[in-house]
A and B are shown apart, each in its own frame.
Chain A
């Protein structure tokens, strides 16, 4: 549970950064309503196998990994045929070590009609961070996409007004990316100096 695995590091902060485990597609049966959702989507969307890269069931949640160029098609079918009428925003994630797909956008969907939840995940390269905007499908994602753009630099093509929302308009950089330092100033107290969090040994 605690401590180093393999490195023999006994500094007390050994192996703090572990690589994210990337599982492949899950095996059927998925359990619960996940089989039904996937079957219905396959029926309603002939290009399913071409557009959905992976179907992952983890911790009782279904994640569909969608190719970014197919996102809008899938979104319309999920909304109109499978009745996922609400999109609970988009959350950006930056995985600098996943070369070619560093930036992920995660869309939690909710169906009030069927009382179901699923999640869409789209990943794009940092060198070309373009994802089609789902604002035409779920208008309420407007501000959420602006936030993801502000914080991660993901460009949502077709968004009606993709500007910064939380940071000032002239801000440089995208603060929640992993290559953006937390910042802070060292604090001196009675001769001893506490460095800003991102410079402390425990956070390196």
Chain B
């Protein structure tokens, strides 16, 4: 009855007829599926589907266009980061954790470092300037992460304009990151005991200008999407998950706040001195995709407020240390720009090479072997753009982590996909997943 279609070959299995779609003529595929007289169709969406946020695989059981069952398939981006860290020293761990959730590298680093500092017992010895820099970098990072969430989320629903605006604004943040850390992502900038190096000259001005520019630019997306009738039709009442659902599934972050629960670890369990900043916890009470979208939009302004307060504090703390005073833990944080890129400051090199044999030995031991961390376990949780990011770290007293486990908000929140989408339309699962904002690097680690 049907002719062979090279783009949609089919074969018989015990479960029924299987079609492999690789493009080509959809009409012939639809005809073939129609000929099977089967109401129930199982569709593999992903792992290479542009609307599934990276390599997420969704197995959808459909009746017509209604989803009756969803299963998530993950693991396509598993890189064994947690295992690898066990073979590196504590400071090198930051280079690994920064690559987990690649849209919020600074949050990963900070969660890891807070847990290591807890194990070392130096939580209160971290200099204030280092904490303020951490807060500022995390808030900048929250903006760049929310920009991707908004931009790709809109793109997945067919709106291309917001993506251009979002990536333009994200660029402002990435330029600041590049100026301060040398890298646009995966910086390993936050280190146990403080940060890798102090802010470069001209950083305050650049950040202030960036904040001003972003505050102006954010209006573009706000006027484009808030109240837009097409956008609201695609997002309102979609991906519904109420407080009971969030609690039982352990959901945190914007999804939890969209139920009206003002749960933000920056407020309720402050870390890095968040209690010293003025900002509001943004909530919505609609439990849907639109509410989560509004939360992310409004959190941008709150982050800008925090960044401004950070710059004020940093100007007052200019010249203060950015690394703990304990030289047995502090990696050299006084870096200089050499002819071959970034290196240790000339003063430091002069000291270890010319003046003090002990300093040389100390530097060598610290950098090759690393410092020891007293045995025990610690859990440090921070509010990442996606929810509670927890670092469970175990030390056996050695120079390398015994076990590092990240409680990734993306990993946990992705479990809500069936609850949000079953019974809805296929097109709406895209909106629901986009509102969870999973980052597969964090999910799979």
State the A residues within 8 Å of B (CB): 1-3, 12-13, 16-21, 58-61, 63, 85-89, 91-94, 106, 108, 110, 112, 115, 117, 119, 138-144, 147, 151, 164-168, 175-176, 182, 197-198, 202-203
Q: Which of A60, A63, A91, A142 contacts B403 (CB 8 A)?
A: A91
Complex contact A93–B403 (CB within 8 A): yes
Q: What residues of chain B lie closer than 8 Å to A119, measured between beta carbons?
A: 379
- Residue-wise, chain B 372-398 has the 8 Å CB interface mask toward A (1 for contact) of 101111110100000010101011111
Q: Which of A16, A59, A89, A91 contacts B398 (CB 8 A)?
A: A16
Task: Give B403's nearest chain A residue, CB to CB.
Answer: A93
With A18-B375, A139-B249 given, name 7 new contacts (CB 8 A): A1-B371, A2-B371, A20-B402, A58-B377, A61-B378, A89-B412, A166-B445
The reply on B215 being an interface residue by CB < 8 A is no
The reply on B82 being an interface residue by CB < 8 A is yes
Task: Give B121's nearest chain A residue, CB to CB.
Answer: A59
Given contacts A1-B328, A88-B407, A198-B87, contact A12 B369 (CB under 8 A): yes
Give me 17 A-to-B residue pairs in the complex whose CB atoms sit less than 8 angstroms apart, sorted by A's number: A1-B328, A12-B369, A17-B398, A19-B375, A19-B397, A20-B394, A59-B121, A59-B376, A60-B118, A91-B392, A108-B379, A143-B414, A166-B74, A176-B403, A182-B84, A197-B84, A203-B400
Complex contact A108–B392 (CB within 8 A): yes
Q: What residues of chain B lie closer than 8 Å to A20, measured between beta carbons?
A: 375, 394-397, 402
Complex contact B412–A203 (CB within 8 A): no
When chains A and B are docked, how far (Å) is the Cα of A167 from the Cα of B252?
26
When chains A and B are docked, how far (Å) is the Cα of A202 from the Cα of B399?
11
**Chain A: minimal CB distance from B27 (Å):** 35
Q: What residues of chain A lie closer than 8 Å to B379, measured between beta carbons?
A: 61, 108, 117, 119
Complex contact B365–A144 (CB within 8 A): no
Complex contact B83–A182 (CB within 8 A): yes
Total number of B residues with any Cβ neighbor in A under 8 Å: 57
Q: What residues of chain A lie closer than 8 Å to B269, measured between beta carbons?
A: 115, 117
Task: Give A14's nearest chain B residue, CB to CB.
Answer: B369
**Chain A: minimal CB distance from B342 (Å):** 23
Given contacts A138-B250, A166-B75, contact A18 B392 (CB under 8 A): no
**Chain B: minimal CB distance from A12 (Å):** 7
**Chain B: minimal CB distance from A37 (Å):** 16
Q: What residues of chain A lie closer than 8 Å to B80, measured between beta carbons?
A: 175
Complex contact A17–B78 (CB within 8 A): no
Which of A89, A175, A203 counts the most chain B CB atoms within 10 A? A89
Task: Give B400's nearest chain A residue, CB to CB.
Answer: A16
**Chain B: minimal CB distance from A36 (Å):** 17
Task: Give A161's nearest chain B residue, CB to CB.
Answer: B71
Q: What residues of chain A lie closer than 8 Å to B411, measured between beta carbons?
A: 143-144, 147
Q: Which of B88, B248, B398 contacts A18 (CB 8 A)?
A: B398
Task: Give B79's nearest chain A residue, CB to CB.
Answer: A166
Complex contact B87–A85 (CB within 8 A): no
Q: Which of B249, B369, B378 contacts A59 (CB 8 A)?
A: B378
Given contacts A85-B247, A89-B250, contact A203 B378 (CB under 8 A): no
Task: Give B415's nearest chain A residue, CB to CB.
Answer: A143
Task: Give B374's nearest chain A residue, CB to CB.
Answer: A21
Complex contact B388–A176 (CB within 8 A): no
Q: What residues of chain A lie closer than 8 Å to B397, measured between beta carbons?
A: 18-21
Task: Give B120's nearest chain A residue, CB to CB.
Answer: A59
The reply on B348 being an interface residue by CB < 8 A is no
Q: What residues of chain B lie closer than 8 Å to A91, measured between beta carbons?
A: 392, 403, 405, 407
Complex contact A108–B390 (CB within 8 A): yes
When chains A and B are docked, how far (Å) is the Cα of A115 from the Cα of B400?
32
Complex contact A18–B396 (CB within 8 A): yes
Which positions 112-149 of chain B face chain A at CB distance < 8 Å?
118-119, 121
Complex contact A16–B399 (CB within 8 A): yes
The reply on B101 being an interface residue by CB < 8 A is no
Complex contact B365–A86 (CB within 8 A): no
The reply on B430 being an interface residue by CB < 8 A is no
When chains A and B are docked, how far (Å) is the Cα of A202 from the Cα of B251?
41
In the A-B complex, the 8 residue pairs with the closest CB atoms: A140-B250, A18-B397, A91-B405, A140-B249, A166-B75, A20-B396, A21-B375, A166-B78
Complex contact B375–A106 (CB within 8 A): no
The reply on B360 being an interface residue by CB < 8 A is no
When chains A and B are docked, how far (Å) is the Cα of A108 from the Cα of B369?
31
Q: What residues of chain A lie closer than 8 Å to B390, measured between beta carbons?
A: 88-89, 108
Q: What residues of chain A lie closer than 8 Å to B415, measured between beta carbons?
A: 140, 142-143
Q: Which of B86, B88, B250, B369 contacts A141 (CB 8 A)?
A: B250
Given contacts A21-B376, A21-B397, A106-B377, contact A138 B402 (CB under 8 A): no
Complex contact B78–A140 (CB within 8 A): no
When chains A and B are docked, how far (Å) is the Cα of A94 from the Cα of B411?
22
The reply on B444 being an interface residue by CB < 8 A is yes
Complex contact A106–B365 (CB within 8 A): no
Task: Give B78's nearest chain A residue, CB to CB.
Answer: A166
The reply on B263 being an interface residue by CB < 8 A is yes
When chains A and B are docked, how far (Å) is the Cα of A92 from the Cα of B405?
8
Complex contact A2–B328 (CB within 8 A): yes
Q: What residues of chain B lie closer than 8 Å to A21, measured between beta carbons?
A: 374-376, 397
The reply on B261 being an interface residue by CB < 8 A is yes
Which of B368, B371, B412 counts the most chain A CB atoms within 10 A? B412
The reply on B30 being an interface residue by CB < 8 A is no
Q: Which of A88, A175, A197 contacts B250 (CB 8 A)?
A: A88
